[in-house]
A = this chain, B = another copy of it.
Amino acid sequence: MSLSDRQARILEFIDAYVQEHNYPPTIREIGKAVGISSTSVVKYNLERLQEKKKLERSKEVSRGLRLVKPAPGNGDAGGAGMRLVRVPKLGLISAGQPIAAAGQQDNPYADDTLTLTADLVPDRANLYALRVQGDSMIDALVHDGDWVIIEHRETAERGDMIVAWIEDKEETTLKYYHPEGATVRLQPANPAYQPIYVPAAQLQVQGKVLAIVRQLA
């Protein structure tokens, strides 16, 4: 009376498919996914699954099926209650220009957002994400294309990694913030690089770096 291996896989597939597309798969799609060559066999198994109250079907309706109780299998499982944080993509960051900061007109990402889990990034206001352009921040161990998650701030605390604008150099940089009297030591994340020293008056804190995300594949 329990599910055959095939039937379990069918259920799983339907669940995943619906999650991805927002509409159910066809019989043929199910067949291909589960390794059934004949549509009639899929239909046969769907009927068994109906008998077992695992799903419902509308006759002669394409994609007319729904899971009775969406299997919590893999997808968002225990993470059901996981909180999410939506961080707006505000544009690019490269060495030669101040960042747009909070004002966000004309950014190339419209109102696109990066969604992250709350255990990665705190759910505060004033968060935004910038995409790193070029290799100019390699001393911060940041790669071209990385996303930098920033909390907008005008001040920083010792040891924070900050987005700094150095006025006389006209340069944006990511460094660890170490105030030392009237000057500030900016320490690269990469220990192979030397720190730089900037008069506090020349340094403008634009934000605090909360996280960096690199997507390879």
Binding site for B on A (CB under 8 A): 16, 19-24, 26, 58, 61-66, 71-72, 74-79, 82-86, 111, 115-117, 119-123, 135, 138, 141-143, 151, 160-161, 189-192, 208-217
Contacts and interface: CB of A to CB of B under 8 A. Distances in A.
Contacts of A23: 23-24, 61, 63-66
Contact of A211 (B72, B82, B84, B215): B215
Nearest to A19: B83
Contacts of A142: 141
Nearest to A217: B210
A72 B148 CA distance: 23
A111 B79 CA distance: 14
27 contacts: A21-B64, A23-B61, A23-B64, A23-B66, A26-B62, A62-B62, A75-B83, A75-B84, A75-B123, A76-B82, A77-B86, A78-B86, A115-B119, A116-B116, A121-B215, A122-B217, A138-B190, A138-B191, A138-B192, A141-B142, A143-B189, A160-B216, A209-B216, A211-B214, A211-B217, A212-B212, A213-B213
Nearest to A215: B211
